[in-house]
Each structure stands twice: as C-alpha cells, then as structure tokens.
Amino acid sequence: MSTKTSGLEFKAFYNDSKVWKNGRWHEDEIVFINHHLVDEFDIAKINDSDMVLIEGGVIYEEDGATEVGGFEGQFRKWKRNQDTTTLLVRAPNAKTEAIRAAIKAAGGTLL
C-alpha cells in the first residue's frame, strides 16, 4: 500500500515534535517525489506543492529496539488527527477564479 500527500503535509508531519519526540528516528521507507524515487530525502528541499508518495518504513524509539509503528501508518494516523486538510487542486484556467471563490466562501485559505 502507499500513501500520497503534498510536500506541505509531508513536511508538517516530519517536523511535528509530537511525532518525533525523544529522539525517534525512521528507516526503510520508500519515498517518491513527483514520481521519482529518492534514496534519501532532504526535507528542506521538498517543495510545498511536490507530490510525495510514501510506502512502508518503520519509526523507532531512540533506543533502536522499540518500534513506534510503520512510517506510512504513523503518517496516516497523524493526518487523521489534524484539524485541517491541505488540497492540491488542478483546474481549468477558465474555472480558476470560480474555484478560488468557492474555497474562500467555504472558509478555506488559499496558500
């Protein structure tokens, strides 16, 4: 299974001190950025609008012996607990302003 997200959400997860407390670390996840497999990613180089695909991986406590859970599963859990959703939207040029107006009217914020 794999999980798709935006660079913006991936960075928010990766920088959330509630997830990565007490020296937690990860390994063996597979990450695709904009359909390109990356062996090791630099979180600072991921753009907010990048499409990130996560597969597998494990998060460990600092001791390296205790599993917190799967990287992908922990991301999905983190995302469910957020009070906002980030959307990347592709729209026809002729409809862009109407879509922007609809998002604002519904209480959304354009980034």
Q: What is the pTM of this model?
A: 0.84
- Between CA 52 and CA 29 the distance in angstroms is 12
Counting residues of the chain whose pLDDT is more than 90, the rounded percentage is 85
Two tokens, residue 101: 């107006």
∠ CA 18-34-38, nearest 5°, is 70
| Pairing mode, strands 51-60 and 36-38 | unpaired
Instruction: Decide: 62 and 24 in contact? Cβ < 8 Å.
Output: yes
Give the residue-averaged pLDDT of 74-97. Answer: 92
pLDDT above 90 for 90? no
19: pLDDT confidence band, cut at 50, 70 and 90?
very high
Instruction: Decide: 71 and 25 in contact? Cβ < 8 Å.
Output: no
Which amino acid makes up residue 102? A
Counting residues of the chain whose pLDDT is more than 70, the rounded percentage is 100
- Between CA 79 and CA 77 the distance in angstroms is 5
∠ CA 24-28-29, nearest 5°, is 85
